[in-house]
Amino acid sequence: MNGRDDEFLKSLLAAFRGEAAEHWQAISAGLLELERSPAPEVVERVYREAHSLKGAARAVSQTEIETVCQALESAFAGWKRQEWQPVPASFDTLHRATDLIQQLVEAPGSIDPGRVTQMKSDIETLCLLAPRAPAPEHVEPVMPATHGGETIRVATRKLDGLMLQAEEMLAVKLAVNQRAGDLRELRTQFNEQLRAEAPDPHQLRVLEAKLQTLSRVAEHDNHTIGRMVDDLLEGSKQLLMLPCATFLNVLPKLVRDLCRDQAKEAELVVHGGEVEIDKRILEEMKDPLIHLVRNCVDHGVEKPAERARLGKPARATITVSVTQVDGNKVELAVSDDGAGVAVEHVKAAAVKHGLVSAADARQLDEPAALALMFLSGVSTTPIITKISGRGLGLAIVREKAENLGGRVAVQTQAGKGTTFRILLPLTLATFRGTLVQAAGQTFVIPTTNVERVGRVRVAEIKTVENNETIAMDGKTVALVRLAPVLELPANSALTDEPVWLTFVVVTAGEKRIAFGVEAVLRAQEVLVKSLRKPLVRVRNIAGATVLGSGAVVLILNVADLLQSATKVRLVVKGAPARAVERKVVLVVEDSITSRMLLKNILESAGYRVRTAVDGLDALSQLKTEPVDGVVSDVQMPRLDGFNLTEKIRADRKLAELPVVLVTALGTQEDRERGVEVGANAYIVKSSFDQSNLLEALRRLV
């Protein structure tokens, strides 16, 4: 195959992957509809999607996808002809088929062919064993599905509008050429007067009149060109705008699968899927949104029996809504009608992990206490799985939102449910920025994060525990100089000690810090230029912009800036470095392979590790050699992990010792048993990630 054919095949496969993703998502969504109400028109639609995907797969020789689609097509054809009728278990098989198709599309060649053969067999068996459907008295004719809105990744209406705006720029080009010619002519005439022994007063007045006319025309051009550029920029931004439905469509199946795994029932309701947001924002917020929906199922929604006892419908409702606000912002809201957040549990978790003192926690009102949920390490569940338990998810949600110039808030009501609200900009292309100077350089801070700009007398700056503060509205606000936060040297041009200090109060979530700067210049619209490799991720820097003067100015990353400022404030001058004592962890595991693996992971993370071959060995060691924490398997001879934990909790000297259970037992009953016997964390091996274990130990030990 020559190079041209190879490139063509790559582009063909890329086009297929995009088309295939649309088909399997449509099949998955259709199955969810059929699970709720088996309408004939939905069966027809899903049947056609399977047929179309089969044909597309055949065209690019994706035989494995073709095989699965052929089986699905046959199943839906039989369903249409009333040859079989699905039962609840039927949908599990059909959903597994769509999952397999997704894997085959996204990672071709990585799937064992045996799985494809087995799936084909499972679908065929499903149709044979499912009950026969009664012959309908009357079947309404089904109209074929239609597809509106011709698109080529971008709606053609957007391209048409952008083309018209681009064509208008031709007039700009002609106008600029004309002004350049006028200026050249004026310069020539002016030079002639300079060379003359006696300048002609009349000619000078003519030149002055021409200059005045040219100035007026330039002002008009400036207004016209400015409007046209704004329109063209707005049209260009629209090319990156996608309806939220393009990434919300993965959520219904996610909720279904999570509920099936946890023996819960919930229906996902989506509002505002038609609202368009910048594609880059959608991509950044996809994982945080999925985490919030997972939290709804895992933490919020009760089991059907518990909901019935509370007088609630057995089937919970999870709502995701997208609403455009203030013209250039959008709100993503994720809510459930579950148990709500136990505020006291949040406070206790924050105190336990050393993030706030017990005295301070008691003084917090509900909004401030709920804000603790977004701190890394705060989790109210001892069960650590892929879904939750590490106390990182909400911290990442907040970080993502703040990095995009947004903010997160939470509301809850005991027994009624919880709502998370994320306010985001509609687009990343331009934003309002505040220009400040520090260390002789100019920087941009997103105006949405600027609470206030002001000045304070240097003599009025107070020092509390070796850190500077200022008084504002009767409250004490931390003060940090921007230059040292950015690790920049002081401006050598400033020699005299200033009487006044200019500051900018920057906020993100609950954080609020005043940054001392040399000057605040102005606020203006700025165009974001992303950093390129190898500077893709530079601490404290979000990007760059070019000012009208041509100067390149860095845009500050507010989330990083506040974190860096906190670290600067924690540095106490002259404090000697202290050696950190390594914590000791006892690993209890009967498998030598697993034991050595855990030992290696923990030692690499800086822990001192002792090992025990089972629960009895562990108890014997604990009585003679104190440790800071225990990591134990559950299924072991002589004394298993559950009983070991019970004995540790029953011993007065060991009762407070942190215990983490790491086991293959992943059923809900096993997890609940782990909590009942007193384990501080329960990590399921099927979702084992060493970061889960290390994060749990960091919080507990």
DSSP string, 57-79: HHHTT-HHHHHHHHHHHHHHHHH
pLDDT over 70 percentage in the chain = 81
DSSP state of 83: S
Does position 482 have pLDDT exceeding 90, yes or no?
yes
Q: How confident is the model at residue 590 (pLDDT cuts 50, 70, 90)?
A: confident
Q: At which of 102, 135, 168 does a domain end?
A: 135
Q: Let me know whether 8 and 89 are in one domain.
A: yes
Q: Let me know whether 550 and 630 are in one domain.
A: no
Residue 253 within a domain: no
The domain tally of the chain equals: 5
Q: Let me know whether 276 and 168 are in one domain.
A: no
Q: Measured between alpha carbons, how far apart are the two ends of the chain, in Å? A: 59
Q: Tell me the two tokens of residue 65.
A: 């996808």
Q: Helix 113-129 and helix 63-80: axis angle, to 10°?
A: 10
pLDDT digits (tens, 9 = 90+) for 77-135: 888 888 888 888 888 888 888 888 888 888 877 888 888 888 888 888 877 766 565 44
CATH number, domain of 78, equals: 1.20.120.160
Distance (Å, whole) CA 673 – CA 643: 11
What are the φ/ψ torsions at residue 626 (nearest 5 degrees)?
-65, 145
Q: Let me know whether 350 and 390 are in one domain.
A: yes
> Per mean pLDDT, which range of 134-143, 185-194, 525-534, 610-619 is the poorest?
134-143
Structural domain boundaries enclosing 319: 265-425
Mean pLDDT of 195-223: 80
Q: At which of 506, 541, 570 does a domain end?
A: 570
Q: Let me know whether 319 and 419 are in one domain.
A: yes
Q: Let me know whether 105 and 211 are in one domain.
A: no
Distance (Å, whole) CA 157 – CA 141: 34
Residue 387: the pLDDT is 45
Q: Which amino acid is at 71?
A: A
Nearest Cα neighbor of 250 from 263, 268, 275 is 268
Q: Let me know whether 22 and 93 are in one domain.
A: yes
Residue 662: the pLDDT is 86
Residue 693: the pLDDT is 82
Distance (Å, whole) CA 519 – CA 541: 19
Residues contacting residue 371 through CB under 8 Å, at least 6 positions apart: 410, 509, 510
pLDDT over 90 percentage in the chain = 18
Q: Which amino acid is at 644?
A: L
What are the φ/ψ torsions at residue 505 (nearest 5 degrees)?
-85, 115
Q: Let me know whether 279 and 421 are in one domain.
A: yes
Q: Let me know whether 482 and 409 are in one domain.
A: no
Q: Let me know whether 50 and 121 are in one domain.
A: yes
Residue length of the chain: 701
Peptide bond between residue 534 and the one before it cis (omega within 30 degrees of 0)? yes
Q: Let me know whether 113 and 31 are in one domain.
A: yes
Residue 504 within a domain: yes
Residue 258 within a domain: no
Q: Tell me the two tokens of residue 163.
A: 């083309």
Q: Tell me the two tokens of residue 443.
A: 């920087």
pTM: 0.53
> Per mean pLDDT, which range of 151-160, 396-405, 414-423 is the poorest?
151-160
Residue 479: the pLDDT is 92
Residue 80: the pLDDT is 83
Distance (Å, whole) CA 461 – CA 507: 20
Nearest Cα neighbor of 410 from 363, 378, 374 is 374
Residue 282 within a domain: yes
Distance (Å, whole) CA 634 – CA 119: 34
Residue 154 within a domain: no
CATH number, domain of 553, equals: 2.40.50.180
What are the φ/ψ torsions at residue 149 (nearest 5 degrees)?
75, 90
Residue 38 within a domain: yes
CATH number, domain of 605, equals: 3.40.50.2300
Q: At which of 570, 593, 609 does a domain end?
A: 570
Nearest Cα neighbor of 98 from 5, 20, 152, 166 is 20
Q: Let me know whether 420 and 437 are in one domain.
A: no
Distance (Å, whole) CA 517 – CA 498: 12
What mean pLDDT value characterizes the chain? 80
- 3-class SS shares of the chain: helix, strand, coil, % to 5: 50, 20, 30
Residue 254 within a domain: no
Mean pLDDT of 263-291: 87
What are the φ/ψ torsions at residue 338 (nearest 5 degrees)?
-90, -145
Residue 542 within a domain: yes
